[in-house]
Amino acid sequence: MSEEKVNFMQAIEELCEEKGLDKETVIGTVEAALAAAYRKDYGKPKQIIRAKLDPATGQAEMFKVTQIVEEVENPEAEITLEDAKKIKKSYKISDEIIEPLPKEESFGRIAAQTAKQVIIQRIREAERDMIYEEFKAREHSVINGSVQQIEGKNIIISLGKTNAIMFPSDQIKDEKYYVGQRLKVYVKEVTQTSRGPQILASRTDEDLIRGLFELEVPEVANESVEIKNIAREAGSRTKIAVIAHDENIDPIGSCVGQRGTRVQSVLAEVGEEKIDIVLWDEDLEQFIMNALSPAKCEKITISSKDNKAIVYVPEDSLSLAIGKNGQNVRLASKLTGWGIDIEKNESEENGETDKVKKTKTKTKTKTRAKLNKKEKKSTQAITIEKSDIINEKPAKSSNKIDE
């Protein structure tokens, strides 16, 4: 084996390692380039030429392929069954006749350029396909990235092997970005284009919150705790409804973690955004009351005809239930899928006393850990913001959490 052929095979192996490409794919690309070059110098334009490269020796063999058809349209690459049987009686329609071609010492300059162009083009295509397949599998998930470039209002995110683009609509309002900044993004969409894969990233998508909790909370990742729904106004406030599929697990406590360690990582990614973690309930009335946390609800009227609910709250909880600019009731409505109207409890004004049924959760859950040998009861809702973690204050909750 000549030293030139050894170096040729070493170059292929180095290319595979550098680009992360499959060796068989690269060898197939080289074979296609050699076949194109041979046809250009020694064959005919419509001939089918194939090359076979020996990975061990680097030696290339050239073959002419003739296809057996019923009616010949391309005499340079096709033959009738009748003529084929003169060569070998066992031939049948759609078989191929493969004949070795004489070895040529060298290809011409134009043919060599053709081979080089084909190799470069095919390797680029293989690299694009590989990147596309890799990130297509990670579509609709949260991944790490860093800000590589800021082009006007668009942010270019480096994902390692390729880049993603984050449009203004996918950027958190008032969040500042700078080159080199590391952050987690949600992969919204991966599409293949003529210039390679295009990846759309987002920081405002509701599923960014879901993905962050899946990364930080093992019970969510293994589906012991399920995030039933998410309502989000990015950069301001998010409500998530959770439920445990194991009666021994407290879904809210699992998401918060001991002293807020788990939710702290989520809050660190979304800045000053508040997170309300509420308990999902099959009972619609109870779920709507939980969703309006931290406001206290006294009674509720459901209208199935127009999918609306009227919630009566004490006067001192009216502003809390509505929220700043109507945000709390708006997110609760989105979380439950029902229109919600907040009204003041009229019985308080008239001095009357309405007997308000105490709401109870249908399923009592137990926390995994015990404190002072006492079991802690699952809360219905809890509101957490970054300041609660930083200042080491207990998270605000509609029900007290025993510590």
pLDDT at 401: 34
Residue 395 pLDDT greater than 50, yes or no: no
Among the listed residues 315, 342, 337, the one whose alpha carbon sits nearest the alpha carbon of residue 326: 342
Angstrom CA distances, 72 to 78, 82, 158, stand at 6, 11, 53
Strands in 325-378 per DSSP E: 339-344
pLDDT at 387: 60
Q: What is the mean pLDDT of residues 121-133?
A: 84
Residue 369's pLDDT band (cuts 50, 70, 90): very low
Work out the angle between the directed axes of helices 3-19 and 23-42 (0-180°, nearest 10). Answer: 130
Do residues 231 and 221 lie in contact, with contact meaning Cβ atoms separated by under 8 Å?
no
Q: What is the mean pLDDT of residues 64-80?
A: 91
- Write out pLDDT tens, residues 207-250: 999 999 999 999 999 999 999 999 999 989 999 999 999 889 99
Determine the longest span between alpha carbons in the chain, in angstroms: 110
Angstrom CA distances, 365 to 224, 252, 362, stand at 13, 10, 10
Residue 360's pLDDT band (cuts 50, 70, 90): very low
Among the listed residues 113, 106, 83, the one whose alpha carbon sits nearest the alpha carbon of residue 95: 83
Alpha-carbon span 60 to 365, nearest angstrom: 70
Among the listed residues 175, 327, 334, the one whose alpha carbon sits nearest the alpha carbon of residue 240: 334
Angstrom CA distances, 126 to 20, 22, 80, 112, 235, stand at 10, 9, 36, 21, 40
Alpha-carbon span 172 to 163, nearest angstrom: 19
Among the listed residues 312, 314, 303, the one whose alpha carbon sits nearest the alpha carbon of residue 338: 303
DSSP code at position 275: E
Residue 204 pLDDT greater than 50, yes or no: yes
pTM for the whole thing? 0.67
